[in-house]
Amino acid sequence: MRAAVIGAGPAGLMAAEALVARGVAADIYDSMPSFGRKFLMAGKSGLNISHAEDREAFLSRYRGDARLQDMVRAFGPGEITDWMAALGIAAHTGPTGRVFPETMKASPLLRAWLVRLQAAGAALHARHRWQGWDGSGALLFGTPEGEVTARPDVTVLALGGASWKRLGSDGAWAPLLDAKGIALAPFGPSNCGFLVDWSDHMRKKFAGAPVKAVRLSADGVETRSEFVITQRGVESGGIYTLSAALVDELQRAGAATLFVDLLPDTDLPVIAGKLARPRGKQSMANHLRKSLGLSGVKLALLHEAAGGALPGETGALARLIKAVPIRITGTAPLDEAISTTGGVAWAALDDALMLRGLPGVFCAGEMIDWDAPTGGYLITACLATGKAAGEGAADWLQASSR
Ligand SMILES: Cc1cc2nc3c(=O)[nH]c(=O)nc-3n(C[C@H](O)[C@H](O)[C@H](O)COP(=O)(O)OP(=O)(O)OC[C@H]3O[C@@H](n4cnc5c(N)ncnc54)[C@H](O)[C@@H]3O)c2cc1C
């Protein structure tokens, strides 16, 4: 019995692992010259592989089908920690519950994983770009040596989303499944940057500036975090946490508003009281800096929101400081998003993640239509769906060989 797993990101590798654990030899194909490029990129500033927190809070981070929650319940932070330990990589949990490999980078983990997979019966085929099926139903790959075909007993597709194309996940698989009548949701950006029509002053002086220790809110969701001003708008940190809320509001209303509380630890009356103190000959900028510690990019955000001069009345200025509105006009380009929504619709999949319209073909990872914030939730769901698809494929092989 042989399985083909196409896509060597965390989802595909986990599917292959589940298959070889059940005694099914797996051929793992990827279009890129080496495996797990997005996984390695995710590890560049610390591979946040999962998130240890209260089970209900953890499950509530996922948007998609209830089956996804069952899968991350079955293979969540605890299981991922054990799985890493078996690969010789200890886990480190940060103060906010983020789980990382102790080595922080993804490369030692990926190296150990590929060695173990090969020892267990997986064969790795880089530079194999899947192009669909040929007329006889065989898998068709483009390789530097020309086209090759494969006729596995079962197939797992784990082709990723549609962002960061240079790492391999280009979404070019979507028309191949669409042609087979598989229901797909359009790709959309998630955990992405957003566009803001900044003034020239803001763009020139503050693009690249971090805005630290603020509370951000949008559409009823809030987070204590920081973010970065960009030439085109805002991104990173708390912006990713709010990205689903901002995207929803953009889709509903055509524009969205991000509110920034510049002093989340100070109540409004206290701010108003400090502002009301006589400032003598001091400029307003000096008064804000000395009485409230507001200067630089935070002061610039106040001016930007006020459209120039700040409100003279202390109550109005205090309210602005607690909720600086930033008008969001759109999302940054899809290819720059940390993850994408859309892809294979849950309705097209059975409970084992097999495509109802293509028996023997399973799907896993970001190519399925679900969403989650950054913080380790993305890779967790990729590993969990990879495991479910691999086990589903092994069960299906077993049942069909009876
Ligand atoms: C900068 C960055 C930082 C991130 N940080 C984190 C983080 O800290 N924590 C977290 O949880 N998530 C993070 N993510 C998201 C996470 O990396 C992805 O959600 C995850 O890698 C998706 O896994 P996957 O296996 O579904 O797909 P991918 O990892 O995208 O793998 C899909 C594979 O399929 C291959 N492929 C695609 N099409 C074909 C084809 N036609 N033929 C053959 N092969 C094909 C690709 O080359 C690729 O190797 C980050 C993402 C980015 C971009």
Per-residue pLDDT tens over the stretch 15-73: 999 999 999 999 999 999 999 999 999 999 899 999 999 999 999 999 989 999 999 99
Ligand 1 centre and the CA of 332: distance in Å? 19
Q: Give the separation between CA 311 and CA 297, rounded to whole angstroms.
A: 18
Is the Cα torsion angle 370, 249, 164, 146 positive or negative in sign? positive
User: Ligand 1 within 6 A of 80 CB?
Assistant: no
- The SS3 call for residue 136 is coil
Q: How far apart are CA 195 and CA 333, in angstroms?
A: 9
Secondary structure of 97-135 in the HEC alphabet? CEEEECCCCCHHHHHHHHHHHHHCCEEEECCCEEEEECC
Residue 128, pLDDT above cutoff 90 = yes
Does residue 402 have a pLDDT over 80? Answer: no
Given a contact cutoff of 8 angstroms between Cβ atoms, the answer to whether 325 and 259 are in contact is yes
User: What proportion of the chain, given as a percentage, has pLDDT over 70?
Assistant: 100
For 200-225, what is the mean pLDDT? Answer: 96
Q: What are phi and psi of 294, to 5 degrees?
A: -95, 125
Q: Is 193 in the pocket of ligand 1 (CB under 6 A)?
A: no
Would the CB of 7 count as within 6 Å of ligand 1?
A: yes
Judged by DSSP in three states, 226 sits in: strand
Q: Is 341 strand, coil or helix?
A: strand
The answer, yes or no, to whether any atom of ligand 1 lies below 6 A from the CB of 32, is yes
Contact criterion met (CB below 8 Å) for 349 and 174: no
Query: Are 79 and 91 spatial neighbours (Cβ–Cβ below 8 Å)?
Result: no
Q: Which atom of ligand 1 is nearest to the CA of 13?
A: 25
Contact by Cβ (8 Å): 112, 88? yes
pTM comes to 0.95
- Domain limits, the chain: 2-190+340-400, 194-331
Which pLDDT belongs to residue 334? 97
| Ligand 1 centroid, distance to 7 Cα (angstroms) | 9
Is there a contact between 50 and 372 (Cβ–Cβ < 8 Å)?
no
CB 232 within 8 A of CB 202: no
Q: Looking at ligand 1, which residue's alpha carbon is closest to its atom 13?
A: 42
Query: DSSP secondary-structure letter at 348?
Result: G
**What pLDDT does 290 receive?**
94
pLDDT, tens digit, 9 for 90 and up, residues 348-362: 999 999 999 999 999
Q: What is the 3-state secondary structure (H, E, C) of 351-384?
A: CCCEECCCCCEEECHHHECCECCCCCHHHHHHHH
pLDDT value for 401: 83
State the residue for tokens 């973010």.
Answer: 227
| Tens of pLDDT, residues 226-272 | 999 999 999 998 999 999 999 999 999 999 999 999 999 999 999 99
For ligand 1, whether the C-beta of 29 sits within 6 Å is yes
The residues pairing with 155 across neighbouring beta strands, listed in sequence order, are 4, 361
246 CB-near residues (< 8 Å, 6+ apart): 194, 218, 219, 239, 256, 258, 328, 331
Cα–Cα distances (Å) from 76 to 71, 91, 376, in that order, read 8, 13, 10
Tokens of 395: 């069960």
The CA distance from 296 to 322, in Å, is 17
Q: Is 6 in the pocket of ligand 1 (CB under 6 A)?
A: yes
For residue 317, what pLDDT band results from cuts at 50, 70 and 90? very high
Architecture of domain 2-190+340-400: 3-Layer(bba) Sandwich (3.50)
How far from each other are the two terminal CA atoms of the chain, in whole angstroms? 13
What distance in Å separates the CA atoms of residue 139 and residue 129, rounded to the nearest whole number? Answer: 10
**Distance, CA 275 to ligand 1 centroid (Å)?**
49
Q: Ligand 1 center to residue 365 CA distance, Å?
A: 8
| Residue to mutate (ligand 1; options 378, 380, 383, 387; most atoms within 8 A of CB) | 378
For residue 35, the ligand 1 atom closest to its alpha carbon is 49
